[in-house]
Structure 1
Amino acid sequence: MHKSIIIANWKLNPGTASEARLLFSAVKKGVAGIRNAEVVVCPPFVYLPALSEIRRAASLGAQDCFWEDKGAYTGEVSSSMLKEFGVTHVIVGHSERRNWLGETDEMIARKIKAVLKEKLMPVLCVGERERDSSGDIPVVVEEQICAALSGLKKGEFKNGIIAYEPVWAIGTGRPDTPDDAARAAIFIRKIVKKVLG
């Protein structure tokens, strides 16, 4: 049986470090009795130092990273910097970054390689913007996975996570169904096996 992974992406919340510490403490208390599940909290970058000092029951994740270790990349954070603060997971390819910041499949592939280089766990987000009228998982999801994992060798992504995030279901009042999510999981496993063997 696979262990469940619960990832809480805080996005641009909360507003202060003290609020972040309070929220993180509440999350830790709330998940203390959960068995066979790993909880990963992904706060804004600025709260990582404060939360790295109090993490125990929950793992610490990052909402993104850059593909280079250092250099003239204003505003970016490397996976080696994240690792220093106890980050174990890094979200890559989130739909908001794809849509609003113009992240490309090539950029996402480079980020995954950087995360893996530091022995961190990439959380690759994939999903379609529009629901397929037949209910099938569109080819765009396959394209996103193939592009993101391109250049990886067999076994390199063995600890990676692929998070299916159908953009059409976010905040629309039309949630994805458990059956559709299960079909998406089967589809994604087939694609990963095809790409990485």
Structure 2
Amino acid sequence: MTTRPYIVGNWKMNGTRAMLSEARAIDRAAERLIKVEVAIAPPYTMIHATRKEATLISIGAQDCHPADGGAHTGDVSAAMVKDAGAGFTIVGHSERRADHGETNALVKQKAHAVIEAGMNVIVCVGETETERDAGKAHSVVSKQLKGSLPEGEGVADKVTVAYEPVWAIGTGRTPTAEDIAAMHEHIRSDLQTIYGEAGVDVRILYGGSVKPENAAELLSAKEVGGALVGGASLTAESFLGIIVAATETNED
């Protein structure tokens, strides 16, 4: 693929205004590391402030409600996060699917809402440890892709897929580059089935315990177009280590 690696930091439920200094440091470094596209998804409460402080990188949201508005106490719509300064939204993260019981159908509704609001969307997929051990990894991910990805003419240009093997998060098990390449190639095939020729250019990110120490190996796997980074994105020092690794990988 000829597009720049896409390195996205998902801050999850972390961050107050005290962390704006980390965002500023990442933003300044991104000015030099132009061979990588860098993004951060802070909590809702920090989207506006982070957008004001970090002007060179992309700022996004971690989720949104599928409706435009209404009686949904505590929820935030796609239009609202865009108004706050978001340029993309993550949907279908494994923690949303597990903790909130989000279905593929709901994730698809959210993805459509994000695109209709004028933003790009990152759709997350991935199998659990039980599903992988049962030999169902590919079929589970295929079902998630077919059920979660938005449809329509030109939609593929707005979509990024993030593969996050749930079994590799906090379990001590780490996927090999071969594991990752095999799944990403499988996802690429599904994307071409779903989107036709446009599916060739949809970026596929890897997410799952990405750190500066393993980033180069993970990012060099076939069909890996970047990374969705969790804990290692919370400080500029560790996140920039991953961005530098992506830069060096892109130069090879």
Moved more, 168-177 or 102-111: 168-177
**Partner of 2:42 in structure 1?**
43
Q: How many angstroms does 1:43 deviate by? A: 0.5
Q: Deviations over 1:75-104 (max 9, x none)?
A: 111111111122111000000010011111
Q: Superposed, which structure 2 residues align to 1:1-150 within 5 Å?
A: 1-14=2-15, 16-17=16-17, 19-130=18-129, 132-133=132-133, 137-149=137-149
Q: How many angstroms does 1:157 deviate by? A: 2.3
Counterpart AA for 2:67: E
Contiguous gaps of at least 5 residues in structure 2: 197-252
Helix, strand or coil for the counterpart of 1:162?
Answer: strand
Measure, in 2, the Cα distance between the counterparts of 1:82 and 1:147: 24
Q: How many angstroms does 1:134 deviate by? A: 8.6
> Aligned pair count?
194
Counterpart AA for 1:40: A
**Partner of 2:160 in structure 1?**
161
Q: How many angstroms does 1:158 deviate by? A: 2.1
Helix, strand or coil for the counterpart of 1:138?
Answer: helix
Q: Do the aligned residues in 2 keep the contact of 1:40 with 1:89 (CA within 8 Å)? A: no
Measure, in 2, the Cα distance between the counterparts of 1:28 and 1:149: 30
Measure, in 1, the Cα distance between the counterparts of 2:63 and 2:20: 20
Give the number of the structure whose residues are more often helix, by fraction: 2
Q: How many angstroms does 1:177 deviate by? A: 1.7
TM-score (norm: length of structure 2): 0.72
Measure, in 2, the Cα distance between the counterparts of 1:161 and 1:153: 15
Q: How many angstroms does 1:154 deviate by? A: 4.0
Helix, strand or coil for the counterpart of 1:36?
Answer: coil
Contiguous gaps of at least 5 residues in structure 1: none
Measure, in 1, the Cα distance between the counterparts of 2:171 and 2:143: 24
Measure, in 2, the Cα distance between the counterparts of 1:104 and 1:133: 22
Q: How many angstroms does 1:178 deviate by? A: 1.8
